[in-house]
Structure 1
Amino acid sequence: MNHTRKTSYHHFFRTLILLGFSSYIVVLSKSDSLQLYIAPRMMIYVQIASVVLYIIACFQGFLALRAYWGKPVDCECNPPVPRSILRTILAYGLLILPLLIGFLLPDTALNSTMVAAKGMNLSPAPTNMTTPRAQSYNLPSFPKPATSSQTMQADQAQAVPTVQTNSEIEQLFQSPDEWNEDFAKMGIILYQKDRILVQPDIYMEILSTIDLFQDNFIGKEIELTGFVYREEDKMRADQIVVGRFAVSCCSADASPYGVMVEFPTALNYPQDMWVKVTGTIQHGHYNGNDIFKIKAAKIEKIEAPSSPYVYPNFEPLTVLKSLNP
């Protein structure tokens, strides 16, 4: 009788733990916080898992009642009951501890603390290019007449090339291999826009395109949003990085990507503040690497978006055409 009563307690603890995890997933889904931990395409599987956990919890509860009533519950479908108190505490503690942390701590997006640990990536272009960018493109020059604003800013003296025919534009965006053909096609579309809007839906794809063909976009106006990050010992007072976390599956694989931004009052924007930056694309150099940067004309504080992360898009051309008809 004592053995069956002890068994019922174990099944009861398992029931509570399973119900806890199932409830936690439901709470995250109801509060729209699940997206802080996993990519949207994975949410449906996690939500289905919460239903499965609930069903298993009900089964464990049934076994707990049978054991409490003194009825046999031994079967091969359950793990053996720990024989020592220490093993019991360790086994259940490994499950209860993360559950308590999840319920008790606030749900927050990844921030500059994680960036400091992982490092900010300022060159989002794919690494499968067969030749260095500087030697891959022998780009023709099509100077644009200087405007009054350009004459006022020396760093914008090198203007965006302009061409008259589609064939000349296509010549600017020759892909070195088949892996970068979509980026070349995106470059053609972005090149013809008066202002490049870095949309969250294709955030990484747009930045990768600019990075691959950055010589074509020098002087081009750009607008993007992100959180502020600063390396105090390495960046100048007029420099910040505006970036976002790119997530493939879950927050564990998140990688921070951003763009160097230069603005006279950059120090006024603290770490993790969300901002919208408007400026022009320029050549940059940081930590021994050639990058593109934004010479900001305006930086505005904004509210953090409900979905702070960006995700890989497998049809960036389709999205770009729909967002920029």
Structure 2
Amino acid sequence: MALIDIRGLRKRFRDQEAIQGIDLSIEAGEIFGLIGPDGAGKSTLIRLLAGILPPTTGEIFLHDIDVVTNYEEARKIIGYMPQTFGLYGPLTVAENLRAVARIRGVTGAEFQKRTERLYRFSGLAPFQDRRAAQLSGGMKQKLGLCCVLIHQPSILLLDEPTVGVDPISRREFWDILHTLAAQGSTILISTPYLEEAARCHRIAFLRQGKILEVLDPLTLRERFPYATCDIFAPEPRVLLQGLQGRLTPTAAFLSGDHVHLIGEKQLLASGRLEKTVRQLVAKGAIVEVKETTPTVQDLYFVQERMGNET
């Protein structure tokens, strides 16, 4: 059964059409990912589904409820988490949950029962009395998710909820999402990380407001069998030229004060890359080769390059 049903959805901002005729159905208990380059329309699509933006044309049904014409009913089943969730920094974890619960009409014994459950699976129980401003990035996102879940929505709309969060906290966050999906929640989530997208049941690739294709995790992994890293060394522009002459990475380019490289996994694992970097820089110079998490931007860059070479 499709809990999210989108038909002919379009959204125009003055002279720009941010969403261009999207049709999509997402099943109950499914984790559905949205990926794409910056400006592809991911956040706009999620905000349309959350009822924050009105569509220019098209229909949005959540659990057979028309979001456009019956928003007050739809918001009861929606849990929306924007990129920056508005926690109350001076309030404790418990006080933040209580404030959101009061807005949602969850009080008394029911509030106690729900918060105890949320504490258990989020791991926030030991931090109930800690102020939100003092939490780590990962714990802030867990608290944000708990606030979103306090009214027990059946549909979660999450806009890049783990950006800036350390890898361990990201994995823990996704473990929670899979638990929720197994319990019947339907989750639409955007992410810039390929490893996160691969944990979805299906993934839609957006570009310029259109869904180019819907992938399964296996196909996504096959599209990007590479490793990525950032190389920090003196004179990165000179280093980049040297690397392109000595190695054959899939792609290498300047990114701020360092070189970002996309290459075969063996290139990084063998240590050959770091050895080559040290040969190219001045003796005694500080060099750091830092493996990174592949992003959707990396995938997009590789696809664009390969498309231009064919």
TM range (shorter): under 0.3
User: Larger Rg: 1 or 2?
Assistant: 1
Q: TM-score, normalised by structure 1?
A: 0.21
Q: TM-score, normalised by structure 2?
A: 0.22
User: Of Structure 1 and Structure 2, which has the larger fraction of its residues in helix?
Assistant: 1
